[in-house]
Structure 1
Amino acid sequence: MADMALSAPIYISAAAEAATLADRLDRAERAILRDLPPLRLTRRGRFVLIGLPVMLVTTALLLVAGIFTAPVMAADRESAGVESTEVAVLAGDSLWGLAAEFAPNADRRTVIKEIIELNNLRGKALQPGQIINIPVQR
């Protein structure tokens, strides 16, 4: 009579199959990497990798330095350190006339510049009822 062999089914666990597959992929990846030439950066690549971040950091530092060293533009009587008096503008008043009235012995152009800076005026026209500060001349 012939020999009969009974075999039992073999069950491969999913973890063992995944480990075998990962090992095969790892070996294939090492073989591919072994055949590649070493990485070389082109001129554009060096610029992007080194030059661009350096320029961005330099720009940020200059911006921060500019913010902290910029002169203060807003001025009121207390912060400007200039003694002044408040005047209500009447119809027909001009900077030239106010400079002549409140600082008769000073150069009117200099007084007008001080009035414009002290009140942060955009132009030389005054509106009736407007309150402006005029520097006191001693």
Structure 2
Amino acid sequence: MTSIAISTPTTRLRITPRGRRAVTFLVSLPLAVALGVAVVGGGAALASNDAGAPAGSFPEVTVMSGDTLWSIAEELAPAADPRDVVAKISRLNALSGGSVAAGQRIAIPVEYAPAN
């Protein structure tokens, strides 16, 4: 008996310009949806115009010339880790960057309020 080898032709996948556009669209669609959701969700936070704690609900201190959040934290809570105190003050006052200016009034968490 003789064996006959049957070979099947191999074809390479070719994608047309229309197919490339379709693939690009299908890949970018979820990215566009995610970006849209992020923009709409992030805009709500900006639209609230929340500038930190409401006035009068927390004790406040006035920043003096040369004061930093770190020095204020060390003065208010000498036994606590200053990093934790600075983080709480920054969060409470919605301070981005952690810088303060002389004359600025900042709210202090109740647990670190100076005794009167």
Q: TM-score, normalised by structure 2?
A: 0.54
The structural deviation recorded for 1:109 is 1.4
Superposed CA deviations along residues 96-118 of structure 1, whole A, max 9, x for unmatched, are 23212322332111101222232
Equivalent pairs counted in the alignment come to 93
The match for 2:95 is 121
Structure 2 residue 47 is matched with structure 1 residue 52:
no
Gap change, CA 1:62 and 1:123, over 3 Å in 2: closer
| Overall identity of the aligned pairs, in % | 35
Counterparts of 1:85 and 1:64 in 2: how far apart (Å)? 38
8 Å CA contact 1:99, 1:112 repeated in 2: yes
The match for 1:87 is 61
Gap change, CA 1:43 and 1:107, over 3 Å in 2: same
Q: Secondary structure at the match of 1:76?
A: coil
Unpaired runs of 5+ residues, structure 1, are 1-41
The structural deviation recorded for 1:68 is 3.3
The match for 1:28 is none
Superposed CA deviations along residues 29-88 of structure 1, whole A, max 9, x for unmatched, are xxxxxxxxxxxxx52212324642562355224531574389x5856225xxxx742221
Counterparts of 1:100 and 1:89 in 2: how far apart (Å)? 14
Which of the two has greater helix per residue? 1
Structure 2 residue 58 is matched with structure 1 residue 100:
no
Q: Secondary structure at the match of 1:87?
A: strand
Matches within 5 A, 1:1-138: 43-49=16-22, 51-52=24-25, 55-56=28-29, 58-64=31-37, 67-68=40-41, 76-77=52-53, 84-137=58-111
Unpaired runs of 5+ residues, structure 2, are 1-14
Runs of 4+ in 1 over 4 A off after TM superposition: 72-75
Q: TM-score, normalised by structure 1?
A: 0.47
Amino acid at match of 1:86: E
